[in-house]
Amino acid sequence: MKIIYMNYASFIVKIIEKPTQIFFDNGTLLTQFIVQIPEFKNKSKCTIVHATIWGKLGYDITQYYQINDYIIVEGYLSIRENLNSEFNFKTFKKAEISIYKIYPFLL
């Protein structure tokens, strides 16, 4: 698996999946969910991104936000190239953002 890291960035995203939380043996919390980055010029297109939050910030996303809420997130965007044998060894790319800050956004 090849990982391409990008710069620290800010996005306005829409939550489209209920966040799930995983607790590790050492007490670390991992929160994962899927968000949508809307495109304002072409309303029919959108970008789906997997979001990951480590630590106590994950509590805030589950307590204060729900599906279809818009939030402003800051974090590192990475693109992973996965090799999948189900698709005859074709590669596909998956975008993922590791979130470090969250801000409310009202429409």
pTM of the complete model: 0.79
- The residues pairing with 76 across neighbouring beta strands, listed in sequence order, are 8, 98
Range of the domain at 46: 2-104
Collapsed DSSP state (helix, strand, coil) of residue 49 = strand
What per-residue confidence (pLDDT) applies to 50? 93
* Over residues 40-45, mean pLDDT: 75
**Span 9-33, mean pLDDT?**
93
Q: Is 106 helix (H, G, I), strand (E, B) or coil?
A: coil
Residue 75: which CATH number? 2.40.50.140
Please give the tally of structural domains in the chain: 1
Q: Is the pLDDT of residue 61 over 60?
A: yes
Tokens 């670390």, residue? 28
Query: What is the reported pLDDT for 41?
Result: 78
